A and B are shown apart, each in its own frame.
Chain A
Amino acid sequence: MDEEIRRVAGMILEAPLTRRNRRELLYCGLGGLAGALGFWILVALLVFGLTVSVSVIGTVVGLLLITLTLRLSRRIGSLHRRLSNRILGQQVEPPARFQPGSGALGRVDRRLRDRAAWRAIWYSLVKLPVAFVQLYAIALTVCGLIDFTYPLLWVLFRHGSSAPLPLLQPLPFGGSPTVSTWVGTYFAALVGAFLVVAGAWVARGINAGDRALVRNLLGPTSMAERVSELERTRSLAVEDSAAVLRRVERDLHDGAQMRLAALAMNLGMAREKLEDPDNATVRELIDAAHQNAVDALADLRDLARGIHPPVLDSGLASALASLAASSAIPATVTADIATRPAPAIETIAYFCAAELIANATKHSYANQIKIKIYTERTGFLRLDVSDDGVGGADAARGSGLAGLAQRVSTVDGRIEVSSPAGGPTVVTVELPLRA
């Protein structure tokens, strides 16, 4: 028991002498200063921004100020995190990188919803009292060290002067005692030693708290937030790829397809002018070139249509009507679309319908296909494709249906297949209105 007490006492008393204590104190100093400074900068900017944005004229300026503050808070947060990682040996990963939006409004909006920046602001606010305690730990240590040297100072510099030495002590009580005797300096040294030990432990305690704050507020967001972040970026990716395909199709239409059409037209005109039998060889060559241009046009058209069916631009209803009209099995379309879905969703719905009609044509022996497309009140787009054929469609076997399921799942949609042997087959696709 004695042993135990002695061991604990030794640990307490030796704390100031450890390497760790130097790191803790260094962090208290740098982190405390950075915390106090960051707090005032952010609070000043935030309060100013909010005040300005309350007035009608200043809204824009205020919003810009707030976005600026949020940007700065990310920086300050990252400084704190790096200090803590470097000096205290923490390993806190940085939060997800900021994803800038497009357009002025998009950029401001994305900043205002930047969770990592808001969390960094919270950290800076909570950090103020923490910083005070950290700086206090430094004060304790510094005072303690000075007091501890009094016996030495007395011997080296006093030479008979009787003015009392002030005993430094950063406690809120006890007044300002002085030391005026040589014996008194030993008492001062004792107090100094006590202050240094106290400083070490205050530093340790407050830094433990600070570490937890850094971990929780300056690290990566929690799993749930991460998931919603991923959902958001995925939807951006889906929308983006739809837009890219759309652009590729338009480029083909305005570029290569148009040029080929002009080429074929010129060759056709040239051919007409070469009726003379003397030009038989030239005419053969032109005929071949002409045929190549015409074939290339047809190839390119199929390619472009596979990338993005242009008729989709006039809406899903008319695109599906076109699809139904060219179906080998008579197909009818009923459409009731209250809010127009995102382009990416329209594209997925269109290709689903095309694939389902093709499936029915190939396998069902049906006489009639019914296509229904409508928006539900719950914010979903539903596509029902049913036929009166022989049934037996199986999502597990048909690679076509499996491919559809994959495509639909990229936007968290669902596909349901009901196709008992003997029919009828009903396939229901449910898609969110936004990717």
Chain B
Amino acid sequence: MRVVIAEDAALLREGLTRLLEDRGHAVCAAVSDGGALLAAVAEHHPDVAVVDIRMPPTHTDEGLRAALKLRQDFPATGVLMFSQYIETSYSAQLLEGGAAGVGYLLKDRVANVAEFSAALERVAGGGTALDPEVVSQLFRASRQRGGLATLTPRERQVLALMAEGRSNAGIAAELVVSGGAVEKHVASIFTKLGLPPDESDNRRVLAVLRYLGPAGA
């Protein structure tokens, strides 16, 4: 997997580079601001870009704006936004153009190297990786709508993992159950919430996000 990293803190930039190279990925470029990111992506056409949201010069949402531009100009490159904070308005903007090849994770998640790497691979492969924090905010926001109340606790867990962008196999591994059990839960969730049956992981994420609203695509 070929990766471009945009992160202004040198410590994290180097750490990330090392982490990814350690796991056999190629880091084509590691830059420290939005402009350099766009240039690096144009040059290397990587599979995925890891983008810090707060970068110079404004230290506000530089990374988000660069990410939106990347989505538009280089749809083949996955974008993983990476930040100290989860802001639902940011995830809403990012997901506006669809959930394919999009991720939004807290920086804390790099602590779990295997999961972080799996999320990055998912995004590079055109999938979705949303932070559990994003998902729990969405859950909180849609609690009142009643639909979720009909789900069993296990089904809710499965729904949350689906919203994060995990595949059935990923969900099975996380919950330590069989793939068949997950499929059964998923079918039951889709029936209860009145969602169309799933075809691909990606469409499934979209359907779930749309159901959870307001940050959904």
Contact = CB atoms under 8 A, between A and B. Distances in A.
Contact of A265 (B12, B54, B60): B12
A265 B15 contact: yes
Contacts of B59: 250, 313
User: Binding site of B, secondary structure by majority: helix, strand, loop or mixed?
Assistant: helix
B86 to A, nearest CB: 9
Contacts of B143: 328
B210 to A, nearest CB: 15
B141 A327 contact: yes
Interface in B120-162: 137, 140-141, 143-145
B60 A314 contact: yes
A22 to B, nearest CB: 69
B89 A325 contact: yes
Interface stretch (B42-50, B109-117, B163-171, B197-205): B109-117
Contacts of B16: 265
Interface string B1-39: 000000001011001101100100000000000000000
Nearest to B19: A269
A310 interface: yes
B12 A258 contact: yes
B108 A261 contact: yes
A135 to B, nearest CB: 64
A248 to B, nearest CB: 14
B113 A269 contact: yes
23 contacts: A258-B12, A259-B11, A261-B108, A262-B11, A264-B108, A265-B15, A265-B110, A265-B111, A268-B110, A272-B113, A294-B108, A294-B111, A297-B108, A301-B106, A311-B90, A325-B215, A326-B137, A326-B140, A327-B141, A328-B144, A329-B144, A330-B144, A330-B214
Contact of B110 (A257, A264, A313, A328): A264
Nearest to B82: A261
**Most chain-A CB neighbours within 10 Å: which of B15, B16, B18, B114?**
B15
Given A294-B111, A313-B60, A330-B144, A262 B12 contact: yes
Contacts of B19: 265, 269
Interface string A308-331: 001101100011011011111110
A292 B214 CA distance: 34
A254 B9 contact: yes
A324 to B, nearest CB: 8
B62 to A, nearest CB: 10
A325 B88 contact: yes
B111 A264 contact: yes
A328 B141 contact: yes
Given A258-B9, A265-B12, A265-B19, A253 B84 contact: yes
B118 interface: no
A325 B137 contact: yes
A324 B214 CA distance: 9
Nearest to A317: B89
A262 B111 CA distance: 8
Interface in B177-212: none
A298 interface: yes
Chain B residues touching A, range? 35 or more
Nearest to A261: B107
A290 interface: yes
B63 to A, nearest CB: 12
A267 interface: yes
A305 B61 contact: no
Given A258-B9, A314-B60, A328-B144, A267 B111 contact: yes
A339 interface: no
A293 interface: yes
Nearest to A327: B141
B89 A268 contact: no
Contacts of A359: none
Contacts of A262: 9, 11-12, 15
**Most chain-B CB neighbours within 10 Å: which of A261, A264, A269, A319?**
A261
A269 B141 contact: no
A266 interface: yes
A322 B89 contact: yes
B141 A326 contact: yes
Contacts of B12: 258, 261-262, 265
A262 B106 CA distance: 13
A376 B116 CA distance: 47
A367 interface: yes
A322 B144 contact: no
Contacts of A326: 88, 137, 140-141
B112 to A, nearest CB: 6
B173 interface: no
Given A253-B54, A258-B9, A264-B108, A325 B214 contact: yes
Contacts of A322: 87-90
B60 to A, nearest CB: 4
A7 B59 CA distance: 84
A298 B111 CA distance: 12
Interface in A288-302: 290, 293-294, 297-298, 301
A321 B15 CA distance: 34
**Most chain-B CB neighbours within 10 Å: which of A250, A258, A318?**
A258
Nearest to A304: B84
Given A265-B113, A325-B88, 14 more contacts: A261-B107, A262-B9, A265-B16, A265-B19, A268-B112, A269-B19, A304-B84, A311-B85, A313-B58, A313-B61, A321-B92, A324-B214, A328-B141, A367-B144
